[in-house]
Amino acid sequence: MTVFTQAENWLKQDPDPETHAELSQLINAARAGDEVAHTELKHRFDGRLQFGTAGLRGRQQAGSMGMNRVLVSQAAKGLADYILQFDPQTPSIVIGYDGRKNSDIYAKDTAEIMAAAGIKTWLLPRCLPTPVLAYAIQHLDTSAGVMVTASHNPPADNGYKVYLGKSNGGGQIVSPADEEIAQLIDKATETPINEYPRSTQYITLDETVIDAYIAKTAALAQEPACELNYVYTAMHGVGKEVLLKTLNAANLPLPHIVAEQAEPDAAFSTVAFPNPEEKGALDLAIALAKKHQAEFILANDPDADRLAVAIADENGEWKPLHGNTVGCYLAWYLAKKNQGKQGTLACSLVSSPALASIAQKYGFANEETLTGFKYIAKTENLLFGFEEALGYLVDPDKVRDKDGISAAIVFLDLVRSLKAQGKTLLDYAHDFTQMFGAFISSQISIRVNELPDIAKLMAAMREHRPNQIGGQEVAQFIDHLHTDRQSDILVFYLANGCRLIVRPSGTEPKVKFYLDAKGETAAHAQEVLQAFDQAVRELLRQEKYGSQNC
């Protein structure tokens, strides 16, 4: 089948005027001899955007390699067929969406296809945080859930996150469910989407589920009341409404809000990347914090399943805290609070090794999972879980996914507990180092132009595996393709205690390098990390790795 035939078949079933016009123009230009258009057309149909354990995520554009209404409808049809097999007696689903372009349209397409398949279907009433959708799965006891979101990806992207409820616990899909759903999606592509049955007999939910989520989250606030002077930004996402209602329900002080980023904005007009981890993303929040002499900053990502924290150091310079730092601060607080109980502290294997020290100190089990919150959430007897990419789960009985709203409430409680002791967050950081040592982390990301370049870099790291980095011997090497984890992750432990982990990103065209170091003091740990970071960058610039852009 030629690329023109593929494109024209796609065009016949595309119900979106924008992508229909875009693809028509591309086809006409390519037929007229425009080589650039012809190359772009081939790229658009060079396979299809793959459905995996992250569901779907990619750039919104026409063609089988993009996120669009055709691809989403095919995914919904395949997922509907899976639900009917998974739960034939009482098939049901709840669907949510964020404020990105087309999120509401993709959600309604999914609802119509599900309802027509005989699946009891609920749709959240408006764009809301991912944690509300995750909670709704358990609240309504549905077979599955879908959240239309690309989280903190670039503005042009969108995504389709799938959860399984009932016996699967309400968390994101894991293998082999992803492969089984993908097979049914492939089968669904045999029929044009304009021939799929559709029905508007789905239920648009009222405020009941949202109010229940807010009440349960507000109940997490238990520390003595006190004044708090802090800043919050929703990062152009959907977090503000639910967070403010939760703060009010918990009788917690309200923050100064970054007005320019308070409401959903699909263009994310004040940031290059709507990710609190990205340089410059918190500039407006920092300016507001300086104006009000705030104690700290809280930020959600656009779908509010992540939480970022920034504080001013001893010199008054504002800096975001690393996700590992926030995760360990919350873990220490919750471990002390729950001392004497049974439970597990869990994190992904690329997150801080400090969590194991906390668990050991307070008599809790410790678990390192594969990367992704879908694995953390499945940990048995989970008390608290986190991943370094700003994801925290403080109340696993309520949701089985990271939750930036409840994490914010518990962080505020941590601050209130410190104030009751006459302490600040800087005091807490000092106390943590005194108790456990100074752990510090950073990350190097290498963005690639073509997805095959990821496999090439990972292959080069295996073929030319370094025996030392920065003069430090590699004391232990683990290739998780050859362990029971069977995952494309490389781990290097150095003789001085540093750790390097290499893995492809699950959501972006990147290879990520996670660096962990430890020192006797914060300053010492920083020196060790800086030297380690420089050594890793020098290593990657070698011709055999071909990463000159690091």
- Active-site positions read 151
Residue 131: other Cβ atoms inside 10 A:
29
Amino acid sitting at position 376? I
Q: Which residue has the tokens 């011997």?
A: 473
As a whole number of angstroms, the distance between CA 371 and CA 366 comes to 15
**Surface-to-core class of residue 497, CB atoms within 10 Å of its CB (0-12 exposed, 13-18 middle, 19+ buried):** middle
Element counts in the chain: helices (H) and strands (E):
17, 22
Amino acid sitting at position 11? L
* Whole-Å CA distances, 495 to 433, 534, 550: 22, 17, 24
H or E, element range at 292: helix 283-292
As a whole number of angstroms, the distance between CA 463 and CA 454 comes to 14
CA dihedral (68, 74, 78, 84) in degrees, to 10, reads: 100
Q: Which residue has the tokens 């599955």?
A: 144
Q: What are the backbone angles phi and psi of residue 162, rounded to the nearest 5°? A: -115, 135
322-336 burial string, b = 16+ CB within 10 Å, else e? bbbbbbbbbbbbbbe
DSSP state of 372: S
Spell out the alpha helix ranges (H) of 149-238: 177-188, 208-218
Alpha carbon 439 to its chain's center: 23
What single string gives the DSSP state of each residue in 437-499? -EEEEEEEEEE-SSTHHHHHHHHHHHHT--SEETTEEEEEEEEGGGSTT--S-EEEEETTS-E
DSSP state of 259: G
As a whole number of angstroms, the distance between CA 344 and CA 391 comes to 17
Structure tokens at 103: 């999120």
| Torsional sign, CA 149, 326, 413, 259 | negative
Amino acid sitting at position 391? G
Answer yes or no: are the C-beta atoms of 522 and 454 closer than 8 Å: no
As a whole number of angstroms, the distance between CA 469 and CA 482 comes to 23
